[in-house]
Each structure stands twice: as C-alpha cells, then as structure tokens.
Amino acid sequence: MAFRVRVEAFREALGRIIPIVPSRSLYPITQNILLSQSGDTLELRATDLEVSMRTLLSIVPEEGDVIRLALAPKPLLELLKGFSEDDVISVAQNEQLLLLVSPYGKYEFGGLPAEEFPHFPTLDNLSGVTFPIELLDEVISQTAFAASKDDARIALTGIYFDFQTTHTYFVATDAHTLVRVKREDIRLPEAPKLLLPVRALQSLQQALKSLPSGDVLTLYPTEGQALFHHPLLDMVCRLIDAKYPDYQSVIPKQPPYSARIGTESFRKALRRLMVLSDKTTGVIRLHFEGNTLTLHAEDVLHNRSGREVLGCEYEGPDFTIAFRGSVIGGVIDHVAASEFVMRMEAPGRAALIEPDPQVPPTESLFLAMPLMM
C-alpha cells in the first residue's frame, strides 16, 4: 500500500540515518537506504556494514502496493527540503520506481530491489542499561575530541566504555590528550568492555537530536557488537577489534605541583597568545611562581611574541612546562567549571587537569602531554 506523510516528519527521519550512508563503498547497495512499509509504519534503514541504523516513521496508509525499495537518499532529501514543512506528500511504488506526489507536481526516483539490501543485525536475550538521551550526548561531546583520527592507530580511534561495579568510565585518547569521564548513574558490571568507533557514536548523537532529550536510550553490549535502542531508532555497530591501552597506568597518582586557575581567563589568554605562537610547534609556555602564572608565546621567525600574567593558587617551587596550544586549548575548551586544578609531576610528564567543582554524578579528568623543551 502507498502512504501519505508530512514533509517535515519524512525529512527528519531521513536526516537521522543519512550520516551512516557511505559516500564510497565496495558494495554499491550500501550507498542506498531501504524503505520498508508495514501498515501505518515506515522503516528507514542505512548501513555501511560496520554500523547499521534504522528509524520508524508514522504514516497514513493509502491504496496501492506495499513499499519496499532501496534508493539513494540524498536526492530525495534535497527534494523534500524544497517543500514547506506542513506540506503533505503521497508516496507509492511502481516496480523499482518510487513515486511522489506533492501539491506542486509529481516526481520519480529509480531504486533497487529491497532483497539486495543487507539484513539488520539481531541481538537477542541481552541485558542492557537505560539512560537519558542527553546523558549520552554529554558523554560523547566530552570525550570524542580526544580520540585519534589516525587509522593507523586503530585502538585509539574509539571511545572506550569501561563498565565497573559502581560506575562506568568513558575514555578517549590520541596519546597527546586523554579524557576520562566517570558516570555513577550508569552501571552494568557484568558487561564486556566496549571500544566503539567515534564515527558511529557521533552519527547516533546526530540522529538523536530530533528526539526529545528527556527520552531514554538502552545500550545492549556484547563481545562483538553494541545495540542502542530507542522506540523510534536502533543502531548496531561493530566494536573496534583492538586492545585498548592501560589508560589507568598513565594517570599520575600524586603530582607534587598543583595550581588552581580560572577557566575563562586562562582560555581567553591562551587564544590570544596562540595568535603569536610558532605556527609549526604552537608552543605555549606556562611558568608558575608564587601565586602567579605567566603564559608566553613566541614566533622567532616572524619576530612576534606575547606574554600574559594570571593570578592562581599555586603550591610548589617555581615550575615551567610547555604545551602545544591546540592540545592544552582542546582540553580547556571541554572544562565545564569556573576553575580547574592542574597537577604536574615534571616538565616532560603529562599534566593532570580536573574541573573544580566537579558536579556529581559526573567526574571528569583530563591529561595533556607537554612538549619537551
């Protein structure tokens, strides 16, 4: 049977799954989406064979053949963007053609048989953990920036879900920056550790934006895959098949140098000085002396330099450490507190950065690797 649907609803459903569709693929069918009608519900599905996503759309059935067709999604989405949100369109299928009728005209899209489209993975009889959509959005936003973009270091390209008895750690690192977010309101102690691709999680994050943030999502973990379930959306993704490094071993236990610094004043000073730093190394030097922090940047080649002094609460003898501006700046941009505490061991050892205050049930910890000067 054919169906009628509001343009806005159809457009939102397409927008949820399009990020999964690969622009290039050894399997051309995956560059399409699957439309599958069942009564008053339309299922839209996409996959790149590593990540699969499906969403459901309420429709009004009409007389005609049931719609089951694979087709390229972007031309369809671009057409829908040309209509008003409240427009209603009729959709039908004639063999391998999708037929659309709008208040303005008629349109045809060539498709492929639905039988060619890969099946959606099934994960049965699993134990899961349920949490609000906004919690997952927060975790991804706080960690994804620190994951590596280098496919040669595949183990570092994901976010690590480390389930503990009383909490869960979410970890990402590129070997220059590390972030560990602790959530006491997510617990699944018997679950395996999960190393999930950042791309899959960010696609899920984007897909969930059209759903109420107060809705809940359930994660079902397995040894090889993870399923995220919402009544209108499912995503299954394969885990990264690599051993995650022992991140706990690199976190310093009791660094002897400690400074409490205002987050916003440090962030603004850093941005100003990065303009004057060497474009190759991006070095920003931090010198602690008494209760003052001096930040210094220099570009010898172009005869530029800058220096700013900030107040801080510092404990320890005079100490100097240097960072790449993009590394320390990326960390500070994700500190969601009015102040942060920086703890340091030595000029060549990773600095520990913690927001202050921490707001339960979240506890964040960052490491930034300095430059050897």
Q: How many CB atoms lie within 10 A of CB 59?
A: 23
CA distance 73 to 101: 17
Confidence check: pLDDT of 373 > 80: no
Q: Residue 1's pLDDT is what?
A: 61
pLDDT tens, residue by residue, 222-235: 878 999 999 999 99
Confidence check: pLDDT of 359 > 90: no
**Across residues 167-181, what is the average pLDDT?**
96
Confidence check: pLDDT of 152 > 70: yes
Q: Residue 214's pLDDT is what?
A: 86
Confidence check: pLDDT of 121 > 90: no
Please answer whether residues 271 and 329 qualify as being in contact, where contact means their C-beta atoms are separated by less than 8 angstroms.
yes
Q: Residue 222's pLDDT is what?
A: 82
Q: Residue 335's pLDDT is what?
A: 96
Q: Residue 190's pLDDT is what?
A: 81
Q: Residue 261's pLDDT is what?
A: 98
Q: Residue 125's pLDDT is what?
A: 66
pLDDT band at 187 (very low <50, low <70, confident <90, very high): confident
pLDDT band at 64 (very low <50, low <70, confident <90, very high): confident
Q: How many CB atoms lie within 10 A of CB 326?
A: 14
pLDDT band at 176 (very low <50, low <70, confident <90, very high): very high
Helix (H, G, I), strand (E, B) or coil at 7: helix
**Across residues 136-163, what is the average pLDDT?**
95
Q: Residue 236's pLDDT is what?
A: 95
pLDDT tens, residue by residue, 281-296: 899 999 999 999 999 9
Q: What is the CA radius of gyration of the chain?
A: 25
Question: How much helix, strand and coil, in percent to the nearest 5, is found in the chain?
Answer: 25, 40, 35
Q: Residue 262's pLDDT is what?
A: 97
Q: Which domains does the chain have, with CATH numbers?
A: 2-116 (3.10.150.10), 129-248 (3.10.150.10), 251-368 (3.10.150.10)
Q: Residue 94's pLDDT is what?
A: 93
Burial zone of 249 (CB within 10 Å; 0-12 exposed, 13-18 middle, 19+ buried): exposed
More confident site: 125 or 288: 288
CA distance 48 to 13: 18
Q: Residue 76's pLDDT is what?
A: 96
pLDDT tens, residue by residue, 65-80: 799 999 999 999 999 9
More confident site: 297 or 214: 297
